[in-house]
Structure 1
């Protein structure tokens, strides 16, 4: 049995494998969240520090998303050919290399090298993004949103803890002799190594390999739903996820820089708390949105996300100079992203037959991350021209477009 794959698969086997898969993926997302939290929180600050130009701070977030965009389809192809385990393991390995490069760039004060390291971390994040789709490989249609939401929720633990480790991370980094603003990456290295080991050892049997074999052989003992390809619906799902992500990423990327002007003396504390609450919003209620997607509908959950995103952006536009208002806006921004992403990913999965899913999911991740990379770069310029409130209003146009085009999801 290569790679731990079962030779025969009954409905009971599928249910057991699915429960194990969701547990492993959830644990991996916790560790990945801790590792990725430092990059989200410190990327813009490191970029501004090493470049000497705040207008270039958005290049850090852009590089993360660019790395994910460049690797999403190759990792999806690797998953389709050799399974999720190989793809997730490779993603974690790339992220580990990226963290080492970022620390080196800070020590040498080399801004271009920083971007290279952040791109590699982004490549690893492409693997983390793939985890939510891996949760649906063997999921029954009535539980697809819930399983997806559970894995997304697991990122809450690491994602909230990661930003809160900024201040203690600096103390640890100073003790270890690490460059300024890189101390938290010491925790990232440990968490990323544990995640890599977990996927390599525990993600057996591979859920995508089992799903592909069921689709080919139509095992008599396995419950099977007739699959219909709905490309127009799938394209709208890709657009909704990508649009919601670029809205979130562009505003979030500029928030640490904006907050550093509002309270320069407590920048690490205020940024850490704000980003932690934002990350909680992104992942904390994802199981609830998953249940809503299963029971209320995929499209309805996407549109709920757009309403929450709109509330966030209006709050930021009305009171951009209030740290409390910015904190509330970032919390809502995360909640809106969560609803739209869970609903959109579930819609894309159910609109696509099994044999087409890895590649189409990879294209979705590429569209999502590439658009966010462009948005993050533009956000720096927009912030400099019309301020944080103006940036929020520009992002609001994307929310309007997703809402207006929603009838395509019913075709």
Structure 2
């Protein structure tokens, strides 16, 4: 019995290379589906609340609720993944998102805002799971290719994320034929998309990337005197703090401006289709540049791209504030920059976290970091509506852009102490 483990070691060293390719293919398929699922809440969640409540001041509440729901899910998915692997964790999260979508549809039919808010909270599970999937792509990737592996998973969200909002008009028409309110049509699509994503992962995410990564690490343990990531505890703590800060701040700014853009456009006479187009472009910019971002992060370093995130978000805020309310093109460009700045922050921040957290506690720590990101998004969502009601959309956009500049001294300070 004692000779069995060493005999299996040579196979373990070659298996991860083939397994990583298969794992990325399965993750890409699930992310395409989940991208369509997350688009519904972004595009029409605020409009549904505005319709039911008759006020703009609480239009940011849906975004805050499904982002708060994603915070709870981030902890849950992280703990399930730590204990049982990525496959059960991610599949459970997407299934919860599908249930939340069904609840939103029911709330719209019953015109029940309380049920709407509860359902949106559950629906947020899909958003958290969509983000958690990026970590699964990096579990087996070599250190010099982790950002590119993360980017491969993120870019897959683009297809569904761009297509989803642009299905708002036809989905609304279909919903009306089924006796469902027009605005709830996209949640029919999101429910089906999340359920299919859960099924794809449950059936085909084999071998489990996190469990296999642990097996490989155990096999290589005898060849390493120490774990570099864990040996320098000061750098590890600094890396976790910086990685978390980058993703928290970019999420806060992005969610705040994104949430109120459809409401701003609606209030100035733009159609749901126009809002869907702008949000579709935004979501495309959030994910489509990922392969290039991953290459830049691996080539030029995490710190430089984290700083670029702050500068890009500032440009987005200034343009959104200055854009005439009637200009769909300028708002679309501003939201594209907003998505790009978020992408820079997410890929660089994720890479920093993955580089500095030991494998033994990786999934749990990643889940806790994503909780902070989700709370930041919830804060951005709920305060955005209040701020626009008290001031204006341009003020919100400009404030968000200026706030993003806080990334620059944080990156500089961390780089100085390295």
Q: Same fold (TM over 0.5)?
A: yes
1:307 aligns with 2:321: no
Deviation string for 1:230-270 (max 9, x for gaps)? Answer: 1112111101101001100000000010000122xx42111
- Residues of 2 paired with 1:227 and 1:373: CA distance? 32
Counterpart residue number, 2:300: 296
| Aligned mates of 2:413, 2:134 — CA distance in 1 | 24
Once the two structures are TM-superposed, the CA of residue 149 in structure 1 deviates from its matched residue by: 0.5
Alignment partner for residue 12 of structure 1, among 3, 8, 14?
14
Pairwise CA distance, 1:406: 1.0
User: Does the 8 Å CA contact 1:31/1:191 hold for their aligned counterparts?
Assistant: yes
Shift of 1:177: 1.8
Equivalent-residue separation in structure 2 for 1:116 and 1:282 (angstroms): 27
Alpha-carbon distance in structure 1 between the residues aligned to 2:118 and 2:379: 16
In structure 2, relative to structure 1, the CA distance for the partners of 1:9 and 1:129 (3 Å cut) is: farther
* TM-score (normalised: structure 2): 0.93
Q: Which runs of 5+ in 1 are unaligned?
A: 1-5
- 1:319 aligns with 323
Residue in 2 aligned with 1:249?
255
Worse overlay, 311-320 or 166-175? 311-320
Q: After the TM superposition, which of the residue ranges 395-404 and 24-33 deviates more from structure 2? A: 395-404
Q: 1:397 to 1:41 in 2, by over 3 A?
A: same
SS state of the match for residue 229, structure 2? coil
CA positional deviation for 1:221? 9.5
Q: Indicate which of 224, 242, 249 corresponds to 1:236.
A: 242
**Post-superposition shift, 1:41?**
0.4
Q: What SS class does the counterpart of residue 56 from structure 1 fall into?
A: coil
By how many angstroms is 1:44 displaced? Answer: 0.4
Structure 2 match to 1:401: 406
Q: How does 1:308-347 map to 2 (within 5 A)?
A: 308-321=312-325, 322-347=327-352
3-state SS of the aligned residue for 1:204? Answer: coil
Find 1:391's aligned residue among 386, 393, 396: 396
Aligned pairs for 1:158-173 within 5 A: 158-173=160-175
1:85 to 84, 87, 101: 87
Structure 1 contact 106–180 (Cα < 8 Å) conserved = no
CA 1:320 to 1:356, structure 2 compared with 1: closer, same or farther past 3 Å? Answer: farther
Aligned counterparts of 1:396 and 1:280: Cα–Cα separation in 2: 20
Deviations 1:151-197 (A, max 9, x none): 00000000000000001101111222222311122222322221111
Q: Tell me, in whole angstroms, the C-alpha distance in 1 between the residues paired with 2:413 and 2:93.
A: 33
Deviation (angstroms), 1:218: 2.1
Contact 1:156 / 1:283 at 8 angstroms: preserved in 2?
yes
Q: Following TM superposition, by how much is the alpha carbon of 1:409 offset from its aligned partner in structure 2, in angstroms?
A: 3.3
Q: Is 1:259 paired with 2:261?
A: no
| Alignment partner, residue 139 of structure 1 | 141
Aligned length: 403
Q: 2: distance between equivalents of 1:71 and 1:408?
A: 32
Residue segments in structure 2 that go unaligned for 5+ positions in a row? 1-7
Alignment of 1:28-43 (within 5 A): 28-43=30-45
Residue 3 (structure 1) aligns with: none
Structure 2 residue aligned with 1:367: 372
Going from structure 1 to structure 2, the CA distance change for 1:377 and 1:9 (only over 3 Å counts) comes to: farther
Q: In 2, Cα distance between the equivalents of 1:273 and 1:84?
A: 33
CA change 1:233–1:320 in 2 (3 A) is farther
